Structure 1
Amino acid sequence: MLQFRAKKEAVQATRRQFLIGTAATAAGLAVGYRLIAAGPAAAQAAPVAAQANPFQTYVEITPENRIVIHSSQFEMGQGSYFGIATLVMEELDGDWAQVDVIGGSGNTALFGNLAWGGAFQGTGGSTSMTSSWERYRKAGAAARAMLVAAAAKEWNAPADEVTVASGVVAHGSNKRATFGELAQAAAGMPVPEDVPLKPRDKWTQIGSDTLKRYDSAGKTNGTQPYTIDLKMDGLLTAVMIHPPKFGAEVASFDAAKAKALDGVVDVIQTPRGIAVVGENMWAAMKGRDLVTVEWNEANAEQRGTAEIMAEYNKLADGPAKATARNDGDAAAAMASADKVVEGHYEFPYLVHASIEPLNAVARIGEDGTVEVWGGHQMPDIYQAAAAQVAGTTPDKVKLHVMKTGGSFGRRAVADADLIVESVAVAKALGPGKPVKVQWTRENDMRGGRYRPAYVHAIKAGLDKDGNIVAMHDHIVGQSIMAGSPMEAMIENGVDATSVEGASNLPYAVPNLKIDLTTTDVKIPVLWWRSVGSTHTAYVMETFVDELAAASNRDPVEFRLSMLEKHPRHAAVLRLAAEKADWEKPLPEGRFRGVALHESFHTYVAEVVEITFKGGTDFTVDRVVCAVDCGTAINPDQIRAQMEGGIGFGLGAILQEELTLTGGVVDQENYDTYTPLRIDQMPKVEVHIVPSDEPPTGVGEPGVPPIGPAVANALRAATGKTIRKLPIVKNLSA
């Protein structure tokens, strides 16, 4: 979508491949391109003008010579704004100093995620570049064509003699104009119907190894504003008191002492607990400590994790409730196998633990309009939820999409928990009183939405030549989609997010069965960076390594022998092994491990080197990562995301664990829940496979292989497969 500000009118047409619209304001013209993906008919046909919020754009050229890109994807540190801007700038030929990227929302026809069929807007599943690849390049190309047309008309010159470079339009040696100077004239130009895109051999931005993030300075010097930094006239701050047990509800509360405290404005019951509102954070927190709450725990989860995991292990040894994949006859092949290997794996609950705790700012205007500032990872859902709480319609809700200090899935919540809290508090306070609901770290740790705990009962059969003839994995754990608007996506009792990474196992196993038993536990769960692959990759890759050892075969060779039909898997595995000098011996006390996994259509292999001194004394020293994510839009950013994903996943498998005792979460902060510390971060080398395939995502796929690669290095050192996480706690068990 692109916009040159101009007069106030709107024109719209729909074509076979693109939804093209023009709209205008007081100073320019808006032109829209939206690639129509295969998906729900309503999402394909929805006209721009019919959407609830005012017309919004992909690319806006302002008279002030700014290039404002409206991103359909949420920025939480993964670099989606940078990637989308790169797509636009490749075709537009602007100057990066002109660029601003802001979050768009409120218009599904424009901003719907095309990787999800375009039916709703959201960021997740490492789909940002997949969804943006065509439409944002088309927007940039259309903007450039209209600027050229405007210049050609004004200068009475052939359009093919007009050039564009670094934000300047020129003809010959004496005709030059900035984008801003041409914006109004460009408003009168026709919208190009079939604008060509640059061929690959002409790219200067996409794939550039020297192009660095345009927004790095603000992130490092503290000038980048986040929701936690927001200030506005009359802004109040609210902190939350949540039930100590999941499923409990407020029976009664006494706020008299809190309300008597200087600086406390009000104490409000919300659908999710008690909000203590203060003139500032300190007053709200002091008031919170003076509120007494009686909880109705009749429907609350009372079990601790020890009891839950004991039940899971028992279920894993029993009959499954559903089957996700069933090739051949695993039971019969297992019975005739020359050797059978089996074991139980246990995975704890995990917290997202983003640096910026959850927050949102809400304000209700005198006219009943609702504004919400925050990390809106699922804008359509949040807009609808805010409208419902406020007692209005979605067109009366304006979302301000803020950049966020991490999410890892936590801000993509189907019931819009934080949005509900902030709007409920703003509604109770009354019109014209903005309020920031700011969770503390303790709220964040204990407030629910965890990576589910899982148990796997897996076994495999080998023939006399050491080939895998059968494999059966029974996965036990909670469903993320159950009870959410995505519940309809559960097919035949299988939540795909519970089995992904196992149900699509690439290895050639002739008899393969993947079973699932979904449990009923009241602990709220949610997608966590790389979702199901966080546990399935660990199981499959450590188990395959163990089977290679049982067959007296090299782990890399063993995997490659089963990947004939999966050349992209094989290519990243070979590249990682080559760059890690897999064939060369290591010094005494050093060991290697390898793992391979595909998640979100991106292929990653990682080779780890560790130093093992005995017992639980070891360090992870080096990680060599090979990644195939299709066309590499921003190589520097791809490397950064692989590095970040490796650090994120490493902390989780080494030492992270959320536990409950009697239904109450034990951990509260980074002292008891311990993500990776900086001195634990290994040296990481990232090698990108050249590809002409369409781009896929990199925000999550670096996470799954690191855990099994480390575990496999430890197995090489100790002869033991670690089946219960976290590793440090269970290495000597």
Structure 2
Amino acid sequence: MNFRRPMVASYARTVRTLPTQSWFPKSRSCWTPVWPKYPPRPRSTTGAKLLRRPLVPPGRIRNSKQSSPDALHTAGTSYAKKCSLARSAHPPHLGARLLAADRNGALSVTGVIDVVVDTEANFAGIVARDPFVLDASLEKLAPRWSAEKDGAEDLQDFMNSVHLQQTESFEHELVEEGSGNTSSEEEIRTISAEFRTSMAAHAAMEPRAAVADVGPDKAEIWCGTQDPYFVRARIAALLGRRRADIVIHPQRMGGAFGGRVACGAAEQATRLSAMVGRPVRVQWDREAEFRNSYMQPPFAHRVSAEVNAAGTLTRWMQDFVSAPITTGPVSALGDGMSQFIAAGIDWFSADTGTARGAEHPYSAAIQRIRYSDIRTDLPFGPWRGLGAGPNTFVTESVMDELAEAVDMDPVAFRLHNLASGHDRLAHVLKRVAKLSGWAGRASQEASTGAQGVACGIYKGMTYVAAVAQIEALHAQREIRVRKVWCVQDCGCVVNPDQVRAMIMGNIVWGCGMALKEELTLDGTSVRQDNFDTYEIMRNDACPDVEIELVPSEEPPAGAGEAALVSIAPAITNAVHAATGNRIRRLPIRSEDVFI
């Protein structure tokens, strides 16, 4: 292939290189990796069955578009860091429209090759040979944007599940079993509560980047994406070409967590490459990641549940509201066709990502679970586990409170109320209690340190239970998670080390969900745009972890997101055991704990 030297487009305010995402080979032969033929590394098989034969033997990978791990450490990978840079103007707030920009002013800066201004596409970009002229050229571009809307959408009103209950206007019914009221002769304890979880960012360590080379007959895109077929379809539509003429070369992502389904950087690079007739690289910086990516939507739940004196769950009524998640990125892309497609999807189907994890594993004679997935102008989409994290947090919080209402041990209460057919969930719950030396609630009263338990089933195939040990530091008004025990049954485990690593990541992510992570809006502007304002778990705050994988002959199931569902509720239940205060919203706020 005669390869033209690529230009680079970037969203970076300062020039940065992305050494693990931005490589770009000089010739097609560079794309075929040569894997070292070292013998298989012995792996621990404790608690899991291991398949000895590797799924992809070394040396037999064909047509790979990624460089080998060995090449990354031996300078065997080619990079695009010497390419010229370009930059696009960012909307100052969500929903802003480009009104005008001074193209001639930006072109007057020495080193600028071309400037693209397309108000219909809401796009303006600068291509240059010298990355150090980008700040000056962007200042000269002086883009003008539409004003922020007055009375920007109030998320509190959007998340008003009480109003939806009063008007009986929930869109979807997940469960409807039994009818009427429980027997008046029974002694019934009732729990009614509202729960909320916040918006969250993906906060990947590596901001996204893409290289596009749009030629007369073929367009090639190098980018990190979780769905190259979706990106190919978007690029084909953008260029008005056949999908067969678009080639996507998936690269390492440097973190995704649901945030790399769509790839805005790839689309922006494609626009610039098509207009300037040269290969172009777009590189986002941290602020662009936070301000221009879709987010985990907030959730609002309202639950009323009843239990009799024997500790049997008799009634469960749950309503919740959030936004579409699985189809969220379609509308988040922002063009008219995307909005049209999203409206059609909403008309014909419910968003299963929003409902994930809402159907709990417990039995109740009378049960109803309803929800609404309301599409808004805000860019919402998949975040690790989709709705499973927020929804399981609610279920496991209510179950813990019901156990306390009838003075039962939380583990015993869950086991007593599990629906039939959930033997694997019962097993991981018993195992995590034994592994953690579960002490029960009675022995934890009036203590600054305590344990909490939670469990769940992810996508109907992976069973997980966790115990969290926390310490309430009253002087600092802070909750510290000291240790987490986790037992997971994901069927036959092919690679135990990798599964444990994924569980560990889920544990840390679940701690962040419970303690730290929150996106907020100022009107329609995202307040948090870097790690100084958007908090994630730091090394010194992460707990010790102990993980057990259940030996199984069942088919392998998912492990990448499963453990997340049990971590946050285990932590909040431990907070209650330590302080007596129930947590109704995430992340945990000091005013909800240290009253």
Please give the TM-score of this superposition, normalised by the length of structure 1: 0.67
- Alignment correspondent of 1:145: none
Distance 1:293 1:614 in 2: 50
Contact in 1 for aligned 2:265/2:284 (Cα 8 Å): no
> What is the aligned counterpart of 1:518 among 373, 382, 394?
373
Instruction: Work out whether 1:276 is the aligned partner of 2:131.
Output: no
- Alignment correspondent of 2:198: 348
Distance 1:232 1:617 in 2: 43
Contact in 1 for aligned 2:164/2:170 (Cα 8 Å): no
Instruction: Work out whether 1:463 is the aligned partner of 2:272.
Output: no
Matches for 1:537-548 after TM superposition, within 5 Å: 537-548=392-403
Instruction: Work out whether 1:251 is the aligned partner of 2:99.
Output: yes
Residue identity matched to 2:90: H
By how many angstroms is 1:604 displaced?
A: 1.0
Contact in 2 for aligned 1:467/1:551 (Cα 8 Å): no
By how many angstroms is 1:222 displaced?
A: 8.9
Distance 1:594 1:222 in 2: 46
Residue identity matched to 2:389: T
Distance 1:390 1:631 in 2: 44
- Alignment correspondent of 1:657: 518
By how many angstroms is 1:257 displaced?
A: 3.9
By how many angstroms is 1:237 displaced?
A: 2.5
By how many angstroms is 1:285 displaced?
A: 4.2
SS at structure 2 position matched to 1:549: helix
Question: Structure 2 vs 1, CA of residues 724 and 317 (structure 1 numbering), >3 Å: closer, same or farther?
Answer: farther
- Alignment correspondent of 2:432: 576
Question: Structure 2 vs 1, CA of residues 224 and 323 (structure 1 numbering), >3 Å: closer, same or farther?
Answer: farther
- Alignment correspondent of 2:584: 723
Deviations 1:441-468 (A, max 9, x none): 1111011310011111111112232321
- Alignment correspondent of 1:506: 361
Question: Structure 2 vs 1, CA of residues 282 and 656 (structure 1 numbering), >3 Å: closer, same or farther?
Answer: farther
- Alignment correspondent of 1:477: 322
Residue identity matched to 1:258: A
Choose 484-493 or 663-672, whichever is displaced more.
Answer: 484-493
Matches for 1:544-563 after TM superposition, within 5 Å: 544-563=399-418
Residue identity matched to 2:423: P
By how many angstroms is 1:476 displaced?
A: 0.9
Contact in 2 for aligned 1:240/1:439 (Cα 8 Å): no
Residue identity matched to 1:238: A
Distance 1:302 1:333 in 2: 44
Contact in 2 for aligned 1:337/1:469 (Cα 8 Å): no
Instruction: Work out whether 1:369 is the aligned partner of 2:225.
Output: no
Distance 2:562 2:297 in 1: 18
Contact in 1 for aligned 2:213/2:221 (Cα 8 Å): yes
SS at structure 1 position matched to 2:310: coil
Matches for 1:327-342 after TM superposition, within 5 Å: 327-329=176-178, 332-333=181-182, 338-342=188-192
Distance 1:103 1:595 in 2: 41
Instruction: Work out whether 1:634 is the aligned partner of 2:495.
Output: yes
> Between Structure 1 and Structure 2, whose CA radius of gyration is higher?
1
- Alignment correspondent of 1:395: 244
Question: Structure 2 vs 1, CA of residues 65 and 697 (structure 1 numbering), >3 Å: closer, same or farther?
Answer: closer
Residue identity matched to 1:391: G
Contact in 1 for aligned 2:161/2:320 (Cα 8 Å): no
- Alignment correspondent of 2:452: 593
Distance 2:260 2:370 in 1: 30
Question: Structure 2 vs 1, CA of residues 726 and 91 (structure 1 numbering), >3 Å: closer, same or farther?
Answer: closer
Residue identity matched to 1:450: M
By how many angstroms is 1:282 displaced?
A: 4.2
Contact in 2 for aligned 1:572/1:603 (Cα 8 Å): yes
By how many angstroms is 1:286 displaced?
A: 4.4
Question: Structure 2 vs 1, CA of residues 688 and 301 (structure 1 numbering), >3 Å: closer, same or farther?
Answer: farther
Choose 331-340 or 246-255, whichever is displaced more.
Answer: 331-340
- Alignment correspondent of 1:324: 173
Instruction: Work out whether 1:684 is the aligned partner of 2:548.
Output: no
- Alignment correspondent of 1:293: 143
> What is the aligned counterpart of 2:463 among 572, 584, 603?
603
Deviations 1:247-292 (A, max 9, x none): 3321112244433333333332363532233335443344334432
SS at structure 2 position matched to 1:462: strand
Question: Structure 2 vs 1, CA of residues 283 and 538 (structure 1 numbering), >3 Å: closer, same or farther?
Answer: farther
Question: Structure 2 vs 1, CA of residues 65 and 683 (structure 1 numbering), >3 Å: closer, same or farther?
Answer: closer
Contact in 2 for aligned 1:300/1:522 (Cα 8 Å): no
- Alignment correspondent of 1:666: 527
How many pairs are equivalent?
532
> Which runs of 5 or more structure 2 residues have no equivalent in the other structure?
1-30, 38-49, 331-340
Deviations 1:224-256 (A, max 9, x none): 96xxx84187x3333332323333321112244
Question: Structure 2 vs 1, CA of residues 337 and 408 (structure 1 numbering), >3 Å: closer, same or farther?
Answer: farther
Distance 1:561 1:626 in 2: 19
By how many angstroms is 1:522 displaced?
A: 0.6
Choose 550-559 or 390-399, whichever is displaced more.
Answer: 390-399
Question: Structure 2 vs 1, CA of residues 239 and 699 (structure 1 numbering), >3 Å: closer, same or farther?
Answer: farther
SS at structure 2 position matched to 1:494: coil
Residue identity matched to 2:302: A
Distance 1:515 1:360 in 2: 41
> What is the aligned counterpart of 2:474 among 606, 610, 614?
614
- Alignment correspondent of 1:426: 273
Contact in 2 for aligned 1:608/1:620 (Cα 8 Å): yes
CA RMSD of aligned residues (A): 3.3
Distance 2:364 2:201 in 1: 34
- Alignment correspondent of 2:41: none
Distance 1:526 1:566 in 2: 30
Distance 2:51 2:112 in 1: 49
By how many angstroms is 1:546 displaced?
A: 0.8
Residue identity matched to 1:670: F
Contact in 1 for aligned 2:489/2:550 (Cα 8 Å): yes
- If asked which structure has higher relative contact order (CA below 8 Å, sep 6+), I would say 2
Residue identity matched to 2:211: V
Contact in 2 for aligned 1:243/1:273 (Cα 8 Å): no
- Alignment correspondent of 1:382: 231
Question: Structure 2 vs 1, CA of residues 266 and 328 (structure 1 numbering), >3 Å: closer, same or farther?
Answer: same
Question: Structure 2 vs 1, CA of residues 513 and 688 (structure 1 numbering), >3 Å: closer, same or farther?
Answer: same
Contact in 1 for aligned 2:196/2:586 (Cα 8 Å): yes
- Alignment correspondent of 1:263: 111
Question: Structure 2 vs 1, CA of residues 65 and 555 (structure 1 numbering), >3 Å: closer, same or farther?
Answer: closer
Distance 2:157 2:579 in 1: 30
Contact in 1 for aligned 2:448/2:579 (Cα 8 Å): no
Residue identity matched to 1:571: H
Distance 1:680 1:496 in 2: 34
SS at structure 1 position matched to 2:101: strand
Contact in 1 for aligned 2:487/2:547 (Cα 8 Å): yes
> Which runs of 5 or more structure 1 residues have no equivalent in the other structure?
1-59, 68-85, 106-213
Contact in 2 for aligned 1:320/1:474 (Cα 8 Å): no
Question: Structure 2 vs 1, CA of residues 689 and 88 (structure 1 numbering), >3 Å: closer, same or farther?
Answer: closer
Distance 1:400 1:579 in 2: 44
Residue identity matched to 2:114: D
- Alignment correspondent of 1:440: 285
By how many angstroms is 1:489 displaced?
A: 6.7
Question: Structure 2 vs 1, CA of residues 216 and 482 (structure 1 numbering), >3 Å: closer, same or farther?
Answer: closer
Choose 471-480 or 578-587, whichever is displaced more.
Answer: 578-587
Q: Percent identity?
A: 29
Deviations 1:58-113 (A, max 9, x none): xx999x8989xxxxxxxxxxxxxxxxxx9895478x5x5x46587579xxxxxxxx
Question: Structure 2 vs 1, CA of residues 404 and 586 (structure 1 numbering), >3 Å: closer, same or farther?
Answer: same
SS at structure 2 position matched to 1:236: coil
Residue identity matched to 1:643: M
Contact in 1 for aligned 2:191/2:306 (Cα 8 Å): yes
